[in-house]
Structure formats: C-alpha cells, structure tokens
Amino acid sequence: MNQTIRLFFAVEVPEETRNEIAKFGETLDRCWKPSRPGQLHITLSFMGTVAPDDLAKVIQIGEEAAQKLSGFPVSISDTAVFPETGEPRVLYAQIDGGRPLLDLAGALRQQLADMADQKKIKPHLTLARSHGNRPARKVLRKFKGSWQVTDFVLFKSVLSPDGITHEPLQRFKLTAPVL
C-alpha cells in the first residue's frame, strides 16, 4: 500500500527572530498557546497529501523555482487575527516580502497545479492559537522583525498524538543573479 505524505514549501524563520517571537509569546494571555519556535515558517505552498511517487517531481519544481529568484528581504509588519470577524482563533504576524515573495509562492503553486492548495496567498507567520474554555480576546500587539531570505525548504508534515512536526526534506538556495 502506497501511503501519501503531507508536504509544503516554506521560508524558515531565522533563530534570532524565532527567539524574539518566543519572548513575545510569553507576554500573551494564557488563553493563547504560542507557536513552537522550531515550527515557525512562512508557507509558500501547501500540498496536503502527495503520493510518494510524486516527491521527485515536487523537488524538481522547487529547484526550478529557486533558480528564478535571488535573495530578498522580508519583514514582519504587524499582528492580526484569523478569522477577521467573530472570535479569533489564530494570532499571526503579517509578512511583507514584496513582489519576490509573492512571485516565489505563485511560481510554486502554478507548477504544482492541482497538487497545491490554490487559496489566495496571504503571507503570514502564525504566532499563537486560541485554546482553553474561555473565549479568546483579540490580542493585537506590535511585533517587528526582518531578515534576508536566501533559501526555502520543502517540509514533510507529520501528524502524531503529540501534535504536528515539520521535517525538512530539501533546502533550495535562491540562485538567480541579482539584476
């Protein structure tokens, strides 16, 4: 029996920024569960379940996308919540990566076609999720940060009773010459 694997392409968050986000998470009301620092990423393309036979094709698509872009800056601009109306369930940081980030996500999604989730791209970084018996209140606080993106990663998402872990399968260096 051929089991499927859960895959996604993402930009990793550098350790210094992860540490700052962890400090930020400590300031949140207890009805918010901060994201684990090692799990922080900016999703470029989520594929959900993929047949193992398609893994080589997915890696090739990542390699081709990496050759078309050079490194670019991203910045965390502000915090917001999902959903925008009603009780918030996710606290996130808005990400500004300009045209290069959107181009990279778009190229991956286009090449992956029906393997990829085609929802509208909304670059963000999940900071915390609402939990507990009490209703979550809106937590909108300033959080700033920026870094240079020089690569992205293909992750395998593994579900277990202890939660989700993300295993890096392949790293793709952005190699296009800077114009």
pLDDT above 90 coverage of the chain, percent: 52
Domain regions of the chain by residue span: 5-75+99-123+145-173
Q: Report the pLDDT value the prediction gives residue 102, as an integer from 0 to 100.
A: 94
Q: How far is 151 from 102, CA to CA, in rounded Å?
A: 14
What are 76-135's pLDDT values in tens digits? Answer: 878 888 888 878 888 899 999 999 999 999 999 999 998 998 888 889 999 988 876 555
Q: Does domain 5-75+99-123+145-173 have CATH number 3.90.209.20?
A: no
Q: Report the pLDDT value the prediction gives residue 137, as an integer from 0 to 100.
A: 52
Q: What is the mean pLDDT of residues 139-146?
A: 70
| Nearest partner of 93 among 165, 21, 14, judged by Cα | 21
Mean pLDDT of the chain: 88
Q: What's CA 8's distance to the chain center, in Å?
A: 8
Q: How far is 147 from 74, CA to CA, in rounded Å?
A: 6
